[in-house]
Chain A
Amino acid sequence: MSATVTAFLQATVRTATPLLFAGLGETLAEQSGVINVGLEGIIIAGAFGAVAGASAGGVATGFLAAAASGAAIAAVFAVFAAMLRSDQIIAGTAVTLFGLGITGTLYRWEFGPAGAALTIPTMRPLAVPGLDRIPVLGPALFDQPLIAYAAYVLVPLVWWWTYRTYGGLALRAVGENPDAARVAGIAVRRVQFSAIMAGGVLGGISGGTLVLAQVGTFAEGMSAGRGFIAIAIVALGRWNPAGTAAAAVIFGAASALQFLFQAMGWHAPYQLFLAFPYALTLAALAFAGSARQGGAPAALGRARI
């Protein structure tokens, strides 16, 4: 029984890791008042970049290429959202379409319409000596690939930066009231541009994690809505990095449920499990909306100068 629970928790952390990276990036962007629906395109670009980088120079190059690809797609969005003041939702949708289209094109061009199987080096789990001996939780939390530990560290780091530094204060000021922030001498566009770019780097790493720490290959559309789920996670976590982490774990657990059910011998159509995270996203957003405790940056989504 405890082995089943451990496997379930391990799968939870594994699924939560990419969501956490993407969610932290989106938290930064949304705290600057920009909702980036292009996150899905950023993640798939990161995944494709990871495959290209890792096949050329190993796992570390893969992550660098993933971050760079995510940043490149984010730069397109940033030009439209932060510089041209276009409608953020439409620009984001276009960026997502662009990311899915360009990666699909390059992939099919490369491997033909069927898409040949492609295996690249992946990051092996690395146990933390001592900590992995903790019963049940130990193996789940501390027998993970290196990138998961990076995610653990990133949560308090982003929290500290947002709430305890001048840069973080400027970021939140822009998201709450860009006009007041401008009067206070903050370069609003530069702050938003940087926040979107940071979100792009983290979104790219999210896609890289999918490829380099989990699947070990690329598939068209493999981001499978994670970008949109990450946006839901940010709302559920009340635009707070710690809340984002908690919400990511909830979603990881929801996706990992299928392993638990299989282990317990329950049978249900597998499409039900595949659809479950999407339905949970709707339920989570409805819950976050009905709670109405505030927390959303006041200027979120506004294209106003």
Chain B
Amino acid sequence: MRGSGAAGHQDALVQKMGLMVTEPASVTHALSAFWRGSLGSEYAIVSATLVRATPLILTGLAVATAFRAGVLNIGAEGQFLAGATAATVFAGLASAWPPVAQSAIALPLALCGGAAAGAAWSGVAAWLRQRFGVLEVISTIMLNFIAAEAVAYLVRGPLQEPSHVYPQTPSLPAGLHLAKLVPHSRLHIGFALAVISAVGAWWMIRETASGFRLRATGANPLAAASAGQIDVRGATLRAFLVSGAIAGLAGGIEVTGATYALYENISPGYGYTAIAVALLANLDPLAVIASGVFFGALEAGAAGMQRDAGVPSVVVSAVEAAIILAILAAAASRSRWLSHRGRWLHRRPVPPRGAEGRVA
């Protein structure tokens, strides 16, 4: 049996690939499953695509904010998990409260707790970078793995549901669920919170002095410090914390709006998809809303394709990677046209209105 079975599978794979080419019907079938799962009906748009888009907009926003400040936060995944865990714990403390108090007091506190936990988790990476010079790309990824192991332990240990059968926390009572945005659908007000956060971040980065400091730090830390008298260290730290808080909020919203419980694979890699979301949006918070919905549709469609046509949904992460690489290639050719020699990420910051005289 050794080897021969796998070789047989190998042939089957080649056959399947051949089928994709020779039988257009199976491709049509897969694509129609994709359409039905993502945008084919009002239900698919509202209850699949937009529900999926909610954590993607928020984590994409977290990545975009950090990247704009020159902080390469690849840790939205871990910060999302930290936020989801904290929100679950905070909400769980209120599980015996009267429903009115739950939705009016406990729910907002749980979301704040999630944001705080996300900020704390990214704060570790900020501390490691500023105190020891540890590259945040590696530290945030390590923190992602540690967060995933911690969640795996908690849902089988201290936070497990009372019957100790399933590796998950007990389901939150109805009073601790986020309200529905569209009645009789799965879409919760978390989507509205995500859109408001994106608009808020856009305004903050574009119009405020701290937003300008963030952009200037990302564009050229040395120039920001010497010419702009900017506290680069403080601006970088704030970028880490804000980014982590947004990703943590995403986790809190996912638990209270969509899953109602914490379990091991609560995030199918939102924090990694977030990088593609942010880059496709060219790091612009408003555009993050559109690219988040685009990737939400992509993931919802892929789920439909797996359900109805048997095409593995992990194919999406390969597609996402291809999109990132295509954006990089486009940026490389564009910068060649402009004979621009700096880093593509670092855009020249435009001072906010009224600040020109002060800074320049």
Contacts and interface: CB of A to CB of B under 8 A. Distances in A.
Interface of A: 37, 51-52, 54-56, 58, 76, 80, 84-87, 89-91, 93-95, 97-98, 100-102, 104-106, 108-111, 113, 118-121, 220, 224-225, 228, 231-232, 269, 271-272, 274-275, 278-279, 281-282, 285-287, 289-290, 292, 303-305
A167 to B, nearest CB: 28
A90 B153 contact: no
Contact of A275 (B13, B149, B312, B332): B149
Contacts of A100: 317
Given A97-B272, A269-B153, A232 B314 contact: no
Contact of A104 (B13, B152, B317, B341): B317
Most buried by B among A101, A120, A121, A286: A101
Contact of A101 (B10, B153, B316, B329): B316
B312 A104 contact: yes
Given A118-B6, A289-B133, A90 B328 contact: yes
A113 B306 contact: yes
B329 A80 contact: yes
A220 to B, nearest CB: 7
Contacts of B10: 52, 55-56, 110
Contact of B149 (A55, A85, A95, A271): A271
A89 B315 contact: no
Interface stretch (B134-142, B188-196, B216-224): B134-142
Nearest to A301: B135
B321 interface: yes
B311 interface: yes
Given A102-B318, A109-B16, A282-B134, A51 B146 contact: no
A250 to B, nearest CB: 16
Given A84-B329, A120-B3, 15 more contacts: A80-B325, A86-B331, A87-B344, A90-B279, A94-B321, A97-B275, A97-B320, A108-B314, A110-B12, A220-B314, A278-B145, A286-B131, A286-B132, A289-B134, A303-B343
Contacts, number: 172
In the A-B complex, list the 5 residue pairs whose CB atoms are closest, starting with the nearest.
A55-B6, A101-B317, A98-B321, A101-B318, A108-B312
Contacts of B7: 55-56
Interface string B325-345: 100110110000000010111
18 contacts: A37-B137, A55-B9, A55-B10, A56-B3, A80-B328, A86-B328, A87-B345, A90-B275, A98-B321, A105-B318, A111-B9, A121-B2, A271-B150, A275-B150, A278-B143, A285-B128, A289-B128, A305-B341
A105 B315 contact: yes
B306 A86 contact: no
Given A93-B74, A101-B320, A105-B315, A286 B128 contact: yes
B329 A278 contact: no
Interface of B: 1-3, 5-7, 9-10, 12-13, 16, 72, 74, 128, 131-135, 137-139, 141-143, 145-146, 149-150, 152-153, 157, 272, 275-276, 279, 306, 311-312, 314-322, 324-325, 328-329, 331-332, 341, 343-345
B139 A282 contact: yes
Nearest to A292: B133
B266 to A, nearest CB: 16
B2 to A, nearest CB: 6
A225 B145 contact: yes
A87 B343 contact: yes
Q: Classify the secondary structure of B's interface with A.
A: helix
A202 B2 CA distance: 27
A228 B153 contact: no
B312 A98 contact: no
B138 A97 contact: no
Contacts of B306: 113
A256 to B, nearest CB: 18
A279 B147 CA distance: 11
A282 B128 contact: yes
Nearest to B324: A94
Contacts of A51: 6
Contacts of A91: 325, 328
Given A84-B328, A225-B145, A110 B9 contact: yes
Contacts of A120: 2-3, 6
B134 to A, nearest CB: 4
Contacts of B321: 94-95, 97-98, 101
A121 B3 contact: yes
Nearest to B67: A90
Contact of B325 (A56, A94, A278, A292): A94
Contact of A89 (B6, B72, B133): B72
Contact of A98 (B133, B134, B325): B325
Given A55-B10, A94-B325, A121-B3, A113 B142 contact: no
Nearest to B322: A98
Contacts of B344: 86-87, 303
